[in-house]
Amino acid sequence: MGFGQFVALIAAMMATNALAIDSMLPAMPQIGEALNVASANERQWILTAYLLGFGVAQIAYGPLADRYGRKPVLLAGLSLYVVFAAACAFATSFEMLLVARALCGVGAAATRVLSVSIVRDCYSGRQMARVMSLSFIVFLGVPIIAPSVGQAILLVAPWPWVFGVLSIFGLAVIAWSWIKLPETLHPEDRVPLEVTPVLAAFKECLTNRIAVGYTLAATLVLGGLFGFLNSAQQVFVDVLGAGRSFPLIFAGIAGGIAVSSLLNSRIVGRLGMRLVSHVALFGYIAFAVVHALVALSGHETLWTFSLLQAGMMFCFGLVMSNFGSIAMEPLGHLAGTAASVQGFITTIGGALFGFWIGQLFDGTTVPLTLGFAGFGVAGLLAVLITEKGRMFHAGTGVAPAEGAGIH
């Protein structure tokens, strides 16, 4: 594949997850009504069940991909995604839907682990960050349009077809990967699927200070985003009165991440991952604190929420694409296992933090905005501890004390 098609395929893999999360946001009231879910907060399990399955399964895909190669494991995961997305469409109870959603997340977890692993197989350092940013531009087009796609489906078909579209999209990615994707794992990097080497790989991933520190920081910041996704439909429709404009407003907010990812792809090679992400993290916290103050003062409107949220999402895009690359940088020889461990921690932790924020919904935006601010500050503390107080430097690799050979 050429560079452009490689980036597009990685983005399509990542988009299976984004589509599974965002396309059903407009459908949640209809799903709740059809499956007799009385509480609006209880409907948030539709998102959280998926995220928990998505997070837990990642811990297994890395060792499997490091042993058997990237391509067969990717195709197996995508097949699970297709089957259980279809199962969601035929769910006759809320419990059945949640089980199918969790298992759909188990399949989608392969796309998260394998997309990062495949990119790390082929690139490192700032070039890896550039590839991830370009992938994010295409990938983040999905959150921008997914709620509108879900809303459009609901205008012509019942809610099960939202899941039907997921299944069809998964089949398309399977066909593309089967035909065009080569095996990217180098034979000398294959890790035997035995207890001792697997545990050694996990130990290395969990004891590298840079990798662990930035993974935890990403988890905390991601918790705020998942809290937003859990509460988005309730906030926009029930609190701010957006009505059917919700998908369009959501698209505008999500567009902030796409713009920042494009910017990151152009500046990260010159400025470095740390400088860009550290400045962006301070920007994220500043927007979050102002947003919380507006909410606490009782002056929240659709305009203030949308503008401040868009600013936060712009900073979020710069933070997350670089935090992920920094965390992966010292573990290139264990890319599959590292992607598994980091994906497990960020997704499970972020999902649980986000669910907690969502469950605090009280008919206002106060719990959500306080969650943004609190988790943003916690993420900053994690970075400060990891970097031993040194911020904004333009280094590309890891500290020599980490013992990594990639710079």
Q: What is the CATH number of the domain that holds 279?
A: 1.20.1250.20
Extract the tokens encoding 97: 């839907």
| 157, part of any domain | yes
Q: Is residue 405 part of a domain?
A: no
Instruction: Work out how many domains the chain is built from and give that number.
Output: 1
CB 339 within 8 A of CB 117: yes
Look at residue 401 and tell me if it is in a domain.
Answer: no
Instruction: Check: CB of residue 106 under 8 Å from CB of residue 80.
Output: yes
Residue 140 has pLDDT above 60, yes or no: no
Confidence (pLDDT) at 282: 95
Structure tokens at 128: 């890896």
Q: Concatenated DSSP letters for 378-406?
A: HHHHHHHHHTTT--S----S--GGG----
Stretch among 233-237, 286-290, 399-403 having the lowest mean pLDDT? 399-403
Match 């990891």 to its residue by tokens: 386
| Tokens matching residue 237 | 């429709």
Residues 6 or more apart from 210 whose CB is under 8 A from it? 326, 327, 329, 330, 386, 398, 399, 402
Q: Is residue 302, in this structure, part of any structural domain at all?
A: yes
Q: How confident is the model at residue 396 (pLDDT cuts 50, 70, 90)?
A: very low
CB within 8 A of 89, min separation 6: which ones?
Answer: 160, 161, 162, 163, 164, 167
Would you state the pLDDT for residue 195?
Answer: 79
Nearest to 150 by CA among 256, 240, 18: 18
**Are 202 and 60 contacting, i.e. CB atoms less than 8 angstroms apart?**
no
What range does the domain containing 260 cover?
Answer: 3-395
Closest CA to 329 of 176, 153, 209, 175: 209
With respect to residue 238, please indicate whether it lies within any of the assigned structural domains: yes
R_g (Cα) of the chain, nearest Å: 20
403 located within any domain: no
- Angstrom distance (rounded) from CA 198 to CA 157: 47
Task: Give the model's pLDDT for residue 138.
Answer: 61
pLDDT at res. 14: 84
Share of the chain above pLDDT 90, in %: 37
The predicted structure's pLDDT at residue 259: 83
pLDDT at 155 over 80: yes
Evaluate if residue 134 carries a pLDDT over 80.
Answer: no
Residue 9 in domain: yes
How far is Cα 150 from Cα 86, in angstroms, rounded to an integer?
16
- What local confidence, expressed as pLDDT, does residue 395 receive? 52
Q: Is residue 406 part of a domain?
A: no
Top-confidence range, 12-16, 66-70, 290-294, 359-363: 290-294
Mean pLDDT (the chain) is 84
- The pLDDT value recorded for residue 102 is 96
Give the separation between CA 321 and CA 151, rounded to whole angstroms.
29
Q: What is the mean pLDDT of residues 6-26?
A: 85
Q: What is the mean pLDDT of residues 315-331?
A: 86
Average pLDDT over residues 351-358: 90
